[in-house]
């Protein structure tokens, strides 16, 4: 369900459009707030909505709804105009793409794991998965030894290619986001090193696709294994 609030110089028309669009059923996830004047959109977390009012779908309402949601947008999706952010400590840029998908771009000097964690905390997302490619001026990966219950870490100076990046998002005891990433790194001699990604200083960029899932996956320490694992 997509809830759309339309702000316009004509309050009555704006309020009526809001009612018409608010109950429009689509497969998009989240709540979008539109500003018709400059076509700004900022996506929010899903929230439950009451029953649609009986006047929500008059013929005029449907026409206005179609115009707002489908103008210059890909088929089946509401277009997200200028929805990118550089708030807080992170310089990472991101944009909602519909259906729970996000496009994220790390800029030069951005620490990737910290940037993705800040994004999840800001958007209050509790579960999802990542995939991406990019490059870094420095990257630290590790291999877990289950007998010693610890990681053996190694830092690779750049430039290194992030030829594969995969991972997931969850939350730990204090409610903060937890980013779990694995990466394959291409070195200058064309060899490849891979493992758990602890940190990567991006240079010049890293392009990440993220799919947000409904609900939250909790991650808790399992002492006998020495790891924080999903609690399902």
Q: Confidence class of residue 23 from pLDDT cuts 50, 70 and 90?
A: very low
| 75 has pLDDT over 60 | no
User: pLDDT tens, 174-229?
Assistant: 999 999 999 999 999 999 999 999 999 999 999 999 999 999 999 999 999 999 99
Name the residue ranges covered by the structural domains of the chain: 4-70, 93-231
* Secondary structure of residue 181 in the 3-state scheme: strand
| 143 has pLDDT over 70 | yes
Residues in the chain: 232
pTM: 0.64
Instruction: Please report the pLDDT score of residue 193 as a whole number.
Output: 98
Beta bridge pairs of residue 200: 139
Q: Confidence class of residue 16 from pLDDT cuts 50, 70 and 90?
A: very low
| 129 has pLDDT over 80 | yes
Instruction: Please report the pLDDT score of residue 158 as a whole number.
Output: 86
| Average pLDDT of the segment spanning 16-39 | 37
Residue from 85, 102, 80, 95 nearest 2 by CA: 80
Residue from 141, 225, 145, 220 nearest 186 by CA: 141
End-to-end CA distance of the chain: 26
Instruction: Please report the pLDDT score of residue 214 as a whole number.
Output: 95
CATH 3.40.50.720 fits 93-231, yes or no: no
CA distances from 104 to 13, 96, 226 (A): 35, 9, 31
Instruction: Please report the pLDDT score of residue 182 as a whole number.
Output: 98
| 115 has pLDDT over 60 | yes
Q: What is the DSSP string of 92-124?
A: -EEEEEETTEEEEEEPTT-BHHHHHHHHHHHHT
Helix (H) or strand (E) holding 35: strand 31-35
CA distance 166 to 131: 5
């Amino acid at each position: 369900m997509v809830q759309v609030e339309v702000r316009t110089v004509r309050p009555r028309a704006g309020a009526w459009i809001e009612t018409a669009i608010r109950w429009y059923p689509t497969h998009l996830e989240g709540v979008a707030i539109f500003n018709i004047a400059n076509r700004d959109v900022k996506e929010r977390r899903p929230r439950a909505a009451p029953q649609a009012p009986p006047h929500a779908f008059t013929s005029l309402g449907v026409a206005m709804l179609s115009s707002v949601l489908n103008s210059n947008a890909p088929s089946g999706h509401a277009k997200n105009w200028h929805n990118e952010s550089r708030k807080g400590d992170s310089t990472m840029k991101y944009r909602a793409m519909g259906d729970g998908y996000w496009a994220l771009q790390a800029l030069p000097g951005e620490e990737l794991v910290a940037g993705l964690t800040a994004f999840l905390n800001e958007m209050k997302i509790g579960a999802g998965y990542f995939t991406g490619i990019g490059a870094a001026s420095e990257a630290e990966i590790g291999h877990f030894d289950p007998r010693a219950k610890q990681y053996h870490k190694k830092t690779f100076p750049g430039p290194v290619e992030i030829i594969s990046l995969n991972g997931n998002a969850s939350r730990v005891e204090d409610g903060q986001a937890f980013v779990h990433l694995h990466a394959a790194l291409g070195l200058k001699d064309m060899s490849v090193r891979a493992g758990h990604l602890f940190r990567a200083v991006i240079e010049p960029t890293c392009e990440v696709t993220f799919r947000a899932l409904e609900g939250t996956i909790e991650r808790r320490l399992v002492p006998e294994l020495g790891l924080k694992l999903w609690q399902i």
